[in-house]
Amino acid sequence: MNILVTLNENYVGPLKVMLWSLFFNNPGESFRVYLIHSSISDQSVAELEAFVSKKGHTLHVIRVQDDWFTDAPVVLHYSKEMYYRLLAYKLLPAELEKALYLDPDILVINPIRELYDTDVSEYLFGAAYHEMISVKEINMVRLNAYEMEEYFNTGVLLMNLTLQRQKLNEEDVFAYINKHKSRLILPDQDVLNALYGKETERLNEFQYNYDARYYQYYKFLSDGEIDMDYVMRHTVILHFCGKRKPWHSNYIGKFHSLYKHYETLALREN
Amino acid sequence: MNILVTLNENYVGPLKVMLWSLFFNNPGESFRVYLIHSSISDQSVAELEAFVSKKGHTLHVIRVQDDWFTDAPVVLHYSKEMYYRLLAYKLLPAELEKALYLDPDILVINPIRELYDTDVSEYLFGAAYHEMISVKEINMVRLNAYEMEEYFNTGVLLMNLTLQRQKLNEEDVFAYINKHKSRLILPDQDVLNALYGKETERLNEFQYNYDARYYQYYKFLSDGEIDMDYVMRHTVILHFCGKRKPWHSNYIGKFHSLYKHYETLALREN
């Protein structure tokens, strides 16, 4: 399976935890991990390579050069890295037909094969809606009179690279961003929703992009069905969305112990 | 290492989870698991044997016969199983010098070698104090005017079987129980504390018998040092003490997700 990650130096630690959980819960699978970045140190890249190959998988590093994305508009405090996910189809090897993008603030706790094999042949992306977005996000959206027909979360993106090469266009992305510069909240997510929401296949949120902040909400919403038992048996991707991260010392949350245990395991084996 | 477990049919599921966590977090170690019981079905025993041997370890079953412990006093609703832990030295093979007893409501989340190698050559047992006991327990103790100089928890017991064969005596145990029948709270724990507390080496509670109910209390007690990070890196044995167990559907607790994930892993591999 082709896994795509894009991040900066600050997320190298969490990335290891995410990859460790992916490898551990998918024995018998072989992963090609593509890392698109522009700022990670050579030492960290070398350590990552060793980490991945020790587990029998391969890391493929694509370092974005300064003279790429020169036409891309710069938005506030966001770096150009926000484009790597949407325009990965241009950076990944031409022969790749499919890839699964994963945020580094994720734990993979069950086999990922069914997700990877989801048929997105008619779609550009596969992604999960997040039904619940935080009050703050809603307020920002209201403030910006932003249309909210669809709201896919881009932390887990199944990519139909073949179709993307035919239909995606960086000029569209740049034009959209230029036009909405002042009211983008989460740039790449907003762009995907605005430009490609209708060409995105909807994935099951509870299985493939479970927002770790909303245990109580999901349980309530499902009349108790989506309890801890359900999550541990059926959820493949636990996503630690939001500003508070489980690797911060003041984190509080239902999956704190699970995350920290995986962190320990990932470090122990390294 | 020699591991001892004693339980009835109801705890076979949790035992698998405990053993799975023990094996998983102790790669390269070889375990001889001794099971002392009187009521587990042949089918469950066979499944346990397969489960243990699949992982490269061995299960040794000691079925207690009806005509053993005939002199043992019967206490209220407690079964004779309460004696198996204290009198294991009589039931285990004569050549065994040391064993580590573990309750089934435990997760082993780090290597256990240092605990097992703790020098108890001058002691009958190694066990952890639980500084904090529940208000209910304290009240019961007060009610019974029970002396509380020491209060070892018997969920994790390092056993010096050689010395036990010389110094332990089932008549002492039976006599103590007969005398205090009406005011025993947790029979085997009370007996150990009353008769053998002074010959028990104190183990570090935070490492070797961390009561999963008291995350906040431990953190407070340690000025924040014993936080989730500490627990995941240093705690070897997480003990789910008390009536509410993490395999019950209404359980709430800091280590709920971790326990349920281990449960899933133990089932997945079986």
User: Cβ of A258 and B261 within 8 Å?
Assistant: yes
**Overall number of domains in chain B:** 1
pLDDT of residue A119: 97
Average pLDDT on A189-195 reads: 85
- How many CA atoms lie within 13 Å of B261's alpha carbon, on the beta-carbon side? 25
Across chain A, mean pLDDT equals: 89
Give the CATH number for residue A185.
3.90.550.10
Tokens of A105: 């603030």
Query: pLDDT digit string (tens) for A209-250?
Result: 999 999 999 998 889 999 999 999 999 999 999 899 999 988
pLDDT of residue A77: 63
In this predicted structure, the answer to whether residue A199 has a pLDDT above a threshold of 90 is yes
Closest residue, chain B, to A252 (C-alpha): B254
User: Cβ of B254 and A256 within 8 Å?
Assistant: yes
Q: Which of A59-73, A96-110, A240-254 has the lowest mean pLDDT?
A: A59-73
| Cβ–Cβ contact A196 with B under 8 A | no
Least Cα separation, residue B44 to chain A (angstroms): 23
- pLDDT-based confidence at A150, cuts 50/70/90? low
pLDDT of residue A145: 44
pLDDT of residue A28: 94
Of A228, A261, A263, the CB nearest to B256: A228
pLDDT of residue A181: 78
Q: From A130, A146, A128, A133, select the one nearest A200 (Cα to Cα).
A: A128
pLDDT of residue B270: 53
Q: From B94, B208, B91, B193, select the one nearest B147 (Cα to Cα).
A: B193
Least Cα separation, residue A233 to chain B (angstroms): 6
pLDDT of residue A141: 57
| Cβ–Cβ contact B229 with A under 8 A | yes
Q: How far apart, in whole angstroms, are the C-alpha atoms of residue A99 and residue A120?
A: 11
- pLDDT-based confidence at A270, cuts 50/70/90? low
* B260: chain A residues, CB-CB within 8 Å: 228-229, 231-232
User: Cβ of B260 and A109 within 8 Å?
Assistant: no
Average pLDDT on A109-136 reads: 87
In B130-270 the beta strands, taken as DSSP E runs, fall at 152-160, 200-203, 210-211, 237-239
Tokens of B18: 């405990």
Encode chain B (270 residues) as per-residue pLDDT tens digits.
999 999 999 999 999 999 999 999 999 999 999 999 998 999 999 999 999 999 999 999 999 987 777 777 777 666 777 789 989 999 999 999 999 999 999 999 999 999 999 999 999 999 998 766 554 455 555 445 455 555 789 999 999 999 999 999 888 888 888 888 777 767 788 888 888 989 999 999 999 999 999 999 999 888 999 999 999 999 999 999 989 999 998 899 999 999 999 999 998 865
Q: Which of A13-17, A20-24, B151-155 has the lowest mean pLDDT?
A: B151-155
Average pLDDT on A36-62 reads: 96
- Report the DSSP beta bridge partners of residue B239: B106, B211
Domain extent, residue B112, equals 2-269
Q: In the block, which residue shows the tokens 């003041």?
A: A250
Q: In this structure, which amino acid lies at residue B60? A: H
Of B110, B233, B257, the CB nearest to A228: B257
- Report whether A156 contacts A209 (CB < 8 A): yes
Q: Are strands B106-108 and A152-160 parallel, antiparallel or unpaired?
A: unpaired
Which distant-in-sequence residues (6+ apart) come within 8 Å of A123 by Cβ?
A160, A163, A199, A200, A201
pLDDT of residue B143: 46
| Cβ–Cβ contact A123 with B under 8 A | no
| Cβ–Cβ contact B244 with A under 8 A | no
